[in-house]
Amino acid sequence: MGAKNVCLMTDKNLSKLPPVQVAMDSLVKNGIPFTVYDNVRVEPTDSSFMEAIEFAQKGAFDAYVAVGGGSTMDTCKAANLYASSPHSDFLDYVSAPIGKGKPVSVPLKPLIAVPTTSGTGSETTGVAIFDYEHLKVKIGITSRAIKPTLGLIDPLHTLHMPARVVANSGFDVLCHALESYTTLPYHLRSPCPSNPITRPAYQGSNPISDIWAIHALRIVAKYLKRAVRNPDDLEARSHMHLASAFAGIGFGNAGVHLCHGMSYPISGLVKMYKAKDYNVDHPLVPHGLSVVLTSPAVFTFTAQMFPERYLEMAEILGADTRTARIQDAGLVLADTLRKFLFDLDVDDGLAAVGYSKADIPALVKGTLPQERVTKLAPRPQSEEDLAALFEASMKLY
């Protein structure tokens, strides 16, 4: 790439671990000057994005390397975008209705993404997610222009993840696969854009994304429990690392729907809950956990559009569907998910991460701006529907 001035982005925790050392050694060995930015926040906010953007604008970098999970890769995408478009206001590229959702028309610098979780699949997507603190809601920047130039998927990097990080990032892979396989089909999405530049990054389910989603789901079913239970199981962790990228290619084109739309306020409105195994100084409901806690309720609610697909997914996850009735597809998948989550010691619903019925109006309010994903749900939903889904997710077992 001919880079002469590289920005290596990571977080404080990873900056002391081998994956970052490997990247730095490689840059040194190849005589490429670089500067490290290690102030990425786990579950980034608009202010943590702004800090990284300011660093990138001052540094005048000609390439970026992001070493970390989704938080690091997304922060780096945002830094690259706004350093390449220095006169833009921060909300210009943020998705509507909170931002202006302008199309990106400036060229960006090369970005190499090196994931260390098995996880977000952010190395494959044109999405960067953050907490918008003013509204206490997660929102994103979505554009093909911010997709990394290259992803380096090295399974050895996953051996540094503690068990709950493996589990929670694995639930993100699980839901990416389940949701992208059941988003509204691409030919039913409306309105059709008048110009390709305004076509959304998330297209709806389509024959190509379907292949990636279902393949990723099979890997999760086979390897996630092993990867969580045994930190040295390189085979299981390698497969989960690939599944993360496979699911990313699937949902990065098809999109996701209600589990993700509803997860953003669950993360954003967190009170006191601090997830085990995360080395952070702030309350945190990890993204994958916030996504999976509503999955039994969501898939019960949305099953009528594609019941055959719901039974197919339940079967992949271990259910015996030979005698299942098609009208029970959602319930069968929901029960299968509950068993899967119970086996992996997942907290018993939203109540266990600090929410009660009194929080439901705020959770619904935080879901409403997530139109880029909620509109892709295979069943339209009213505010009452969303409230009922949050209520049904208060307790899982």
CATH number at residue 207: 1.20.1090.10
110-136 burial, b for 16+ CB within 10 Å, e for fewer? Answer: bbbbbbbbbbbbbbbbbbbbbbbeeeb
Residue 217 lies in a domain: yes
3-state secondary structure of 30: coil
What range does the domain containing 207 cover?
162-392
Short-list 143, 79, 158, CA closest to 111:
79
Output the domain CATH number for residue 73: 3.40.50.1970
Q: How far is it, in rounded angstroms, from Cα 359 to Cα 353?
A: 12
Residue 303 lies in a domain: yes
Contacts of 105 (CB under 8 A, 6+ apart): 197
Looking at the structure, do residues 57 and 131 belong to the same domain, yes or no? yes
Return the amino acid letter for 323.
T
Looking at the structure, do residues 205 and 114 belong to the same domain, yes or no? no
Q: How far is it, in rounded angstroms, from Cα 324 to Cα 11?
A: 47
Query: 215-254: per-residue pLDDT in tens?
Result: 999 999 999 999 999 988 999 999 999 999 999 999 999 9
Short-list 186, 181, 255, 263, CA closest to 218:
181
Per-residue pLDDT of the chain (397 residues; tens, 9 = 90+): 999 999 999 999 999 999 999 999 999 999 999 999 999 999 999 999 999 999 999 999 999 999 999 999 999 999 999 999 999 999 999 998 899 999 999 999 999 999 999 999 999 999 999 999 988 888 899 999 999 999 999 999 999 899 999 999 999 999 999 999 999 999 998 777 888 878 888 999 999 999 999 999 999 999 999 999 998 899 999 999 999 999 999 999 999 999 999 999 999 899 999 999 998 889 999 999 999 999 999 999 999 989 999 999 999 999 999 999 999 999 999 999 999 999 999 999 999 999 999 999 999 999 998 988 999 999 999 999 999 999 999 999 9
Q: How far is it, in rounded angstroms, from Cα 170 to Cα 305?
A: 26
Looking at the structure, do residues 167 and 127 belong to the same domain, yes or no? no
Q: Choose the final residue of a domain: 156, 173, 192.
A: 156
Site of tokens 């939903």 = 381
Could you tell me the two tokens for 311? 């039974």
Could you tell me the two tokens for 276? 């085990």
Q: How many residues does the chain have?
A: 397
Write down the pLDDT at residue 397: 97
Q: How far is it, in rounded angstroms, from Cα 323 to Cα 318?
A: 14
Q: How far is it, in rounded angstroms, from Cα 362 to Cα 355?
A: 11
Short-list 311, 199, 305, 197, CA closest to 257:
305
Query: 95-120: per-residue pLDDT in tens?
Result: 988 999 999 999 999 999 999 999 99
SS3 content of the chain, % helix, strand, coil (to 5): 55, 10, 35
Q: Choose the final residue of a domain: 121, 156, 191.
A: 156
111-115 and 127-132 strand pairing: unpaired
The Cβ-side half-sphere exposure at 307, using a 13 Å CA radius, reads 11
Q: How far is it, in rounded angstroms, from Cα 220 to Cα 276?
A: 22
Looking at the structure, do residues 151 and 190 belong to the same domain, yes or no? no
Return the amino acid letter for 8.
L
Q: Which helix (H) or strand (E) holds 179?
A: helix 163-181
Could you tell me the two tokens for 343? 């086996």
Looking at the structure, do residues 147 and 167 belong to the same domain, yes or no? no
Looking at the structure, do residues 142 and 170 belong to the same domain, yes or no? no
Asked whether the beta carbons of 14 and 67 are under 8 A apart, the reply is: yes
Looking at the structure, do residues 166 and 152 belong to the same domain, yes or no? no
Looking at the structure, do residues 111 and 133 belong to the same domain, yes or no? yes
Residue 147 lies in a domain: yes
Asked whether the beta carbons of 203 and 323 are under 8 A apart, the reply is: no
Could you tell me the two tokens for 32? 């490429």
Could you tell me the two tokens for 153? 């998927």
Query: 50-80: per-residue pLDDT in tens?
Result: 999 999 999 999 999 999 999 999 999 999 9
Residue 225 lies in a domain: yes
CA torsion angle 146 74 114 59 (round to 10): 80
Residue 362 lies in a domain: yes
Q: Choose the final residue of a domain: 124, 156, 188.
A: 156
Looking at the structure, do residues 152 and 231 belong to the same domain, yes or no? no
